[in-house]
Structures are given as structure tokens and as C-alpha cells.
Amino acid sequence: MQSRQRAQFVLMLMFALFPTPDRTVWMKERSSHWWEYIVNRNFTDGDWMENFRMKRATFQYLCLELRPFLEKNSNRKCHSVELRVAVTLWICGSGMEYRSIGHLFGVGISSACNIFRETVQAIATHLSPKFIQMPTGRRLQNIVEGFEAKWGVPQCEEAIDGTHVPIIAPSEHKTDYYNRKSFYSIVSQVICDHELRVLHVVSGWPGRVHDARVLAKSNIFQKAESGTLFPPTSRLINGVEVPILILGDPAYPLKPWLLKTFSEFGVLSQAQRNFNYCHSQGRLCIEGCFGRCKGKWQILQQRLNFETEFVPVLILACFTLHNLVMVHNEGFDQEWMDLVEDDRNHIGYQPGHDMRQYDAKAIREAYVQYFNNR
């Protein structure tokens, strides 16, 4: 008993001689001075374009569009919608790591990660149907006319190609993601118009999958084969009825609705080589689309260290931002927005016209003669 009392006395003496210091700081102090005062009060439109990849007015429009969806998350109430969108744009534009983003904007690393993922998901889910859509009506006709005027290819509505976004080797099925260019990737199929605006995106396929297979499994292929992708409008070119079609590289199959070049492995005539050159000129738009999007949203050029399910969401969000910036910086096309509701629920035309009436080889030969006679 005495030993217990002695031990208690020793403990009380220790607490008296060595008191526990009061805890005055429960978390690391962070500063949002740069965002709140430097950016919001002093950044010019040039600064916004350089750092956030869009002008302040476009940024404010994006915040307005995302506000109803981002504010639903009560866990982020302490961070404004403007800060969340700014963090996301900065990461997409620079690929900066969360730690540096946290220091820059005055948020924690885990907060920066959650903010980025939530905002990217909101852009991909709620804004992509509004800014990425296949054209109909007068807008489609404007694109057809624009392709001929700008790229010299008549009766063309769009160009198609695949692009690889590098990723860290996934833990499962990694060989499926190792592409022919010798790196791990996720491939995305993109269709764009003559002004480099994205019309359709299919993303999420492992990098090893061939472009032709991605197309064959997409709803674009099914609609085109059934004659419901474009209206039944044809044009006589060198005596051949030509429907509205898509430009594709040699990786794709030759179809009445898909015009591809001749393989360079064969012996080509001068007329065929000239056709390939004119065709490649028309396809410059899809290369320009990829270059412009990846140049602006540089995260797509880095090896992405996300789970494979999130990467397609991020890719779709970046292409959505690509279109949003183009629409706002090059003039707002009201017809684009007027067609949102119709195009979102109905892409294609009913009833379908019979594509069997068109001969793919004859169509390509008609273009050979058309380009050769110009």
C-alpha cells in the first residue's frame, strides 16, 4: 500500500515539476494570400491565359456552370467554388503535384487531391454533354462547307483518330496497356470538325487496342453502318454519289462513310499519291486538335499516376475544357448551345438510309480523280 502511495506521490511531483505545455497550434498554418490577393486583384487577362489557360470571364462562366454540382458536396464548404475550379485548371494546365498546389493555394495535400477529382468528375459528367456533341441541322452543313473551304475536301463532316495518354503501369493486366510505341497508355478515339472542336470522344481502352477495334466497338460505327449518323444527303463527285463522310488514316477500314488513304506499302500512281497528300491536308485538323488540347492541358502529356478508371474521366474533362475555351475565345456560337437538348438525347437520324447503295472503293476513286483534276 505504501509503495502505491509512494508511486502516486512521485507522479504528482513529476507533473508539478514538468508541466505539459499548452498546445497552441492544432494544424499547420496555411496561407491563401496568393490566390485571394495576388490572383483575384492583380492578374490581367494575359496572366489568366498563361496560368489558368483561359480568360477571367471564361473562368467565371465555368464556375457558374459548375457551382450547382460542386456545392452539393458539403465536405468542401470551406473552399469556394472559384478556388476549387482554379486548383483544377492549374493542375490540368501544368500537371503540378498536389504538394506544390497546396502550398500555392493554401490547402492541404488531401484537400487538393479531393478538390481536383471532384471538379474533374463534375466537368466530365455535367459539362461534356453540353460542349461535346455531334452536329445536326444547319451546324452540320456549316461544317461540311467549312471542310471544303478550309481543307479542300468536299462532302466531309469530320476527321477521326486515336491518341495515347501515358500512364503508370497498372497493377493488373499491365500488358494490355503496353502499346506499340513502347509505353503504357490509355487510348482515346476523338472526332473533330474543321475548326478543331471536338465532336465525340471514346476513352478508356487499353493502349494495346488497335484504333480500328476502338471504332468498331463505338456507337459511331453502329450509327454509321446503319445510316443514322448523318442525314441522307449525297453529292455527285466525278459521276459517283458520295454521302457525308469522315476522314481517317490507314488504320481504319475503308467504308462508304469513312475515307482513308492508300497504303504507302504498295506501288502508288501519281494520282493516288496526290490523293494521299490532299487527304492528309484534310486530316491536319485532328492533329491540330490533339496538339492544341495537349499543349494547353499539359497533364495529358505526363505519365498519369491515377487508377485506370479515373483516367478516361480526366481525358474527357480536358477535351471539354478544350471546347469551352475555343467557344469563348473565338466567339460564342449560340446555335451550338441551342442544339444541346436535342443532341444530348438524339445523335443521329431516323430512319436510316441504306449505306449499301454506296461503293467505298468507287467513292475513293472519285476523290482521286477530283483531287487530280483540281
Highest mean pLDDT among 24-38, 95-109, 311-325: 311-325
The answer to whether residues 101 and 111 touch, using CB atoms and an 8 Å cutoff, is no
pLDDT of 150: 92
pLDDT band at residue 20, thresholds of 50, 70 and 90?
Answer: low
Pairwise pLDDT comparison (175 vs 340), residue with the higher score: 175
Confidence band of 338 (pLDDT split at 50, 70, 90): very low
Residues 245, 251, 252, 254, CA torsion sign: positive
User: Mean pLDDT lowest for which of 4-13, 231-240, 280-289, 343-352?
Assistant: 343-352
Please identify which residue in the block is written with the cell numbers 500500500. Answer: 1
pLDDT, residue 6, reads 65
pTM, full prediction:
0.85
pLDDT on residue 340: 39
With CA atoms as reference, report the closest residue to 261 among 242, 280, 245.
280
Above 80 in pLDDT, residue 1?
A: no
Give residue 370's pLDDT: 92
Q: Of the candidates 165, 195, 189, which has an alpha carbon nearest to the alpha carbon of residue 177?
A: 165
What's the chain's Rg over C-alpha atoms? 27
Rounded to whole angstroms, what are the CA distances from 105 to 32, 72, 95?
5, 22, 15
Q: Check pLDDT > 90 for residue 14.
A: no
How much is the pLDDT for 40?
A: 84
Torsion angle of C-alpha atoms 341, 344, 347, 349, degrees rounded to 10: -30
Say what the pLDDT of residue 345 is. Answer: 38
What integer pLDDT is reported at residue 337 of this predicted model? 38
Question: Residue 193 in contact with residue 135, Cβ under 8 Å?
Answer: yes
Please compute the mean of the pLDDT values over residues 266-278 and round it to a whole number: 91
> For residue 84, is pLDDT > 90?
yes
Q: Give the per-residue pLDDT at 333.
A: 39
Q: Which amino acid is at 335?
A: E
pLDDT tens digits, residue range 160-179? Answer: 999 999 999 998 889 999 99
45-56 pLDDT tens trace: 889 988 999 999
Mean pLDDT of 144-167: 94
The DSSP output letter for 78 is T
Check pLDDT > 80 for residue 23: no
The residue among 11 and 168 whose pLDDT is bigger is 168
- Cα–Cα distances in Å, from 346 out to 134, 229, 230, 320, 350? 10, 10, 12, 19, 10
- The C-alpha atoms of residue 227 and residue 308 are separated, in whole angstroms, by 34
The alpha carbon of residue 101 and the mean position of all alpha carbons in its chain are separated, in whole angstroms, by 22
Note the pLDDT of residue 234. 92
Would you state the pLDDT for residue 29? Answer: 63
Q: What is the mean pLDDT of residues 141-165?
A: 94
Q: Which grid cell is 175?
A: 500488358
What is the mean pLDDT of the segment spanning 286-301? 93
Q: Is the pLDDT of residue 22 over 50?
A: yes
The pLDDT of 89-110, averaged and rounded, is: 92
Q: How many CB atoms lie within 10 A of CB 271?
A: 14
197 by Cβ neighbours in 10 Å (0-12 / 13-18 / 19+) ranks as: buried
Q: Above 70 in pLDDT, residue 219?
A: yes
279 neighbors 247 (Cβ within 8 angstroms)? yes
Would you say how long the chain is, in residues? 374
Q: Torsions phi, psi of 331, nearest 5?
A: 100, 135
Banded pLDDT at 255 (limits 50, 70, 90): very high
Confidence bin at 117 (pLDDT 50/70/90): very high
Q: State how far the Cα of 359 lies from the Cα of 364, in Å rounded to an integer.
A: 9
pLDDT surpassing 80 at residue 341: no
Residue 354: what pLDDT?
A: 73
